[in-house]
Amino acid sequence: MTQLEPTFVVVGASLAGAKAAEELRERGFDGPVVLIGDEDEPPYERPPLSKGYLRDRQRRDEAFVHDLQWYADHGIELRLGAAVTAIDRDRREVVVQDGERIGYTRLLLTTGASPRRLPVPGADLDGVLYLRRLGDCEAIKEVFRTCSRVALVGGGWIGLEVAAAAREAGLEVAVLEAGELPLLNVLGPRVARVFADLHREHGVDLRPGVRVTGIAAEGGRAVGVELADGSRVAADAVVVGVGAVPNTALALDAGLQVDNGIVVDAALRTSDPDIHAAGDVANAFHPALGRAVRVEHWANAVHQPVVAARSMLGESASYERVPYFFTDQYDLGMEYAGHVEPGHLDDLVVRGDLAAREFVAFWMAQDRVLAGMNVNVWDVNDSIQRLVRSGARVDRDRLADPHTPLEQVTAR
């Protein structure tokens, strides 16, 4: 393919891919923009799949980033149902499954992540479901309509959100978690216990510290989960949420640097300066944190591609936003900002009431706030983000005092 003008290609018709294409047009780039995805659906947001749409509180079309006409109106060539199989860096081309080659001046990879598969016998049976794509969500909604019992393998954010939606739909729910508490490696024991208590109070059969050894079957369909102690948890369907794996195969085959995702600098450039990466797949150097982080949350997929697009255009750009995510489960709403590595979760300051589930928790290191979570307390997350970003030392007593504004907690 001969390129007559600069062409920007985005592989991954995801939220991140759509936001990058949008930003390119917003910044005045009027050359060809090709957005390629292997799904038949136009780019959509994923939070509704475990929140509003799953709970029948949002319409299906509300998940889409833009309607199809928007792409046509903005001159974006949207290729759906088209899997990219290779990147030819020497010729600056991507190879599509049907053999077509598409040339690029700059290439952006927003290939996302895929659910980690459960490595036990029976994991591929009918009735074993994962949640990543719109079709996955619709399969789980069908379970809610037709089944009475569901088992969730994994007590992470996805597992707990699906558990809450299933209870609201009237199903019996069991959550099977390998750790001592759900979310233990993310929140530490004190805050993780808040979520464990929440689900038990809503009738979830929460079983921590268990090991899944297989999926029980009858007639080729899952009918339960087998545990290492020899017991079986009966279920009409099994939803697995045991983490995600970044989709790095294209990058790896092309010789790009890969380490827990595609390695990029703060401007989201890969080891090839003509190729960028953003979203779930990008392991990006974060200047404020001083290290690379890969964040699998909605806010990253919204904001990171904006920086990637500007960088692709040759502008000076650096992604420095504080990692952010949110959840809604039953009557609990939560926002989290910051980043804490597992193993550094014990230094905690709490303002408010953990038992009442109305509090702000701060994870600390040397009197500095690494991350903060506001639970059923609102209009404070921007202040939490400023504390995290500043790296300033704080007075712990003032930080724990609900009557002291967060703007006044820095040490004097």
Residue 178 counted as domain residue: yes
In this structure, what token pair is assigned to residue 391? 């790296």
- In this structure, the answer to whether residues 141 and 227 fall within a common structural domain is yes
Residue 119 counted as domain residue: no
- In this structure, the answer to whether residues 272 and 301 fall within a common structural domain is yes
Nearest to 317 by CA among 278, 345, 280, 369: 278
- In this structure, the answer to whether residues 235 and 300 fall within a common structural domain is no
- In this structure, the answer to whether residues 229 and 267 fall within a common structural domain is no
- Residue that finishes a domain, picked among 217, 242, 267: 242
Residue 36 counted as domain residue: yes
- In this structure, the answer to whether residues 336 and 382 fall within a common structural domain is yes
pLDDT along the chain (412 residues), means of 10: 77 97 97 97 97 96 97 98 98 96 98 96 96 97 97 97 98 98 96 98 98 96 97 98 97 98 98 97 93 93 97 96 95 96 90 97 96 97 96 96 95 79
- In this structure, the answer to whether residues 303 and 367 fall within a common structural domain is no
- Indicate which CATH number applies to the domain containing 401: 3.30.390.30
Residue 2 counted as domain residue: no
Residue 27 counted as domain residue: yes
- Residue that finishes a domain, picked among 195, 224, 242: 242
What is the model's pLDDT at position 4? 61
- In this structure, the answer to whether residues 179 and 85 fall within a common structural domain is no
- In this structure, the answer to whether residues 237 and 93 fall within a common structural domain is no
- Residue that finishes a domain, picked among 220, 242, 264: 242
Q: What is the DSSP secondary-structure string of 184-200?
A: HHHH-HHHHHHHHHHHH
- In this structure, the answer to whether residues 231 and 337 fall within a common structural domain is no
- In this structure, the answer to whether residues 135 and 229 fall within a common structural domain is yes
Q: Which domain holds residue 380?
A: 331-408
Global model pTM greater than 0.85: yes
Strand pairing category for 113-115 and 244-246: antiparallel
- Structurally, how many domains does the chain consist of? 3
CB atoms within 10 A of CB 360: 23
List alpha helices for 152-261, DSSP H: 157-168, 184-187, 189-201, 249-253
Eight-class DSSP state of 377: -
What is the model's pLDDT at position 341? 85
- In this structure, the answer to whether residues 72 and 16 fall within a common structural domain is yes
Residue 150 counted as domain residue: yes
Question: Strands across the sheet with 106-109, in order?
Answer: 76-79, 33-36, 8-11, 106-109, 275-277
- In this structure, the answer to whether residues 132 and 236 fall within a common structural domain is yes
What is the model's pLDDT at position 389? 93
Residue 3 counted as domain residue: no
- Indicate which CATH number applies to the domain containing 27: 3.50.50.60
Residue 121 counted as domain residue: no
What is the model's pLDDT at position 269? 98
